[in-house]
Structure 1
Amino acid sequence: MPKASPTTPASYEAALEELEQLVGLIESGQLPLEQLLTGYQRGAELLTFCREKLQAVENQIKVLDEGTLKPWTQE
């Protein structure tokens, strides 16, 4: 497993891609226990980052919609 980067991801997409790679490595069952723990910790950090980004976007949408969310309909 590549060494977990303690840095903040450049974007939501970069965090999601790194998280998907980590999940694949963890699910493979081929990692030593120490690397498994490090990967799990990094995955938790990435998940928090992604959730915060999504919440920020949702808040921006609420502001743009003047505080009310409109139901999404596929046209």
Structure 2
Amino acid sequence: MEEKTELNFEQAMERLEKIVDQLEQGDVPLEQAIQYYKDGMELSKVCHDKLKNVENEMAEIMKENGETEPFTVEDDSE
């Protein structure tokens, strides 16, 4: 899979969803499944990095008085 860093978040998620669909079908030869897995992990990293960048940008949201206010995204998965 080439140029994953050139993808926007939505494109990377779409490709990742297609890989998941293909793997869930179960009729994938082992070698192909391994390649899908590798590609999926790379796409997952692209998505994570893009989300992290957005979180960093959100950390600089300005208050009404012009001061920056810390912003964190809490993980609800616990």
With the shorter chain as reference, the TM-score category is: 0.7 to 0.9
TM-score, normalised via structure 1 length:
0.80
Higher relative contact order (CA 8 A, sep 6+): 1
Tell me how far apart the structure 2 counterparts of residues 10 and 51 of structure 1 sit (CA, whole Å): 13
Cα drift, residue 67 of structure 1:
4.0
> Aligned with 1:64: secondary structure?
coil
CA shift in 2, pair 1:68/1:10, >3 Å: same
| Aligned with residue 33 of structure 2, among 33, 36, 39 | 36
Long gaps (5+) in structure 1: none
Q: Paired residue for 2:76?
A: none
- TM-score, scaled relative to structure 2: 0.77
Kindly, what percent of the aligned residue pairs are identical? 33
Q: Is the 8 A contact 2:61 2:71 kept in 1?
A: no
Question: Which ranges in structure 2 are unaligned for 5 or more consecutive residues?
Answer: 63-67, 74-78
Q: Which segments of structure 1 move beyond 2 Å, counting only runs of 4 or more?
A: none
Q: How many residues of Structure 1 are paired with residues of Structure 2 in the alignment?
A: 67
Alignment of 1:7 onto 2:9? no
Q: Report which of the two structures shows the higher radius of gyration computed on alpha carbons.
A: 2
Partner of 2:56: 59
Q: CA RMSD in A?
A: 1.8
Q: Is 1:69 matched up with 2:71?
A: yes
Residue 43 of structure 1 aligns with an amino acid whose one-letter code is G
Q: What CA distance in whole angstroms lies between the structure 1 residues aligned with 2:19 and 2:72?
A: 35
Q: Which whole-Å CA distance do the structure 2 matches of 1:47 and 1:30 have between them?
A: 23
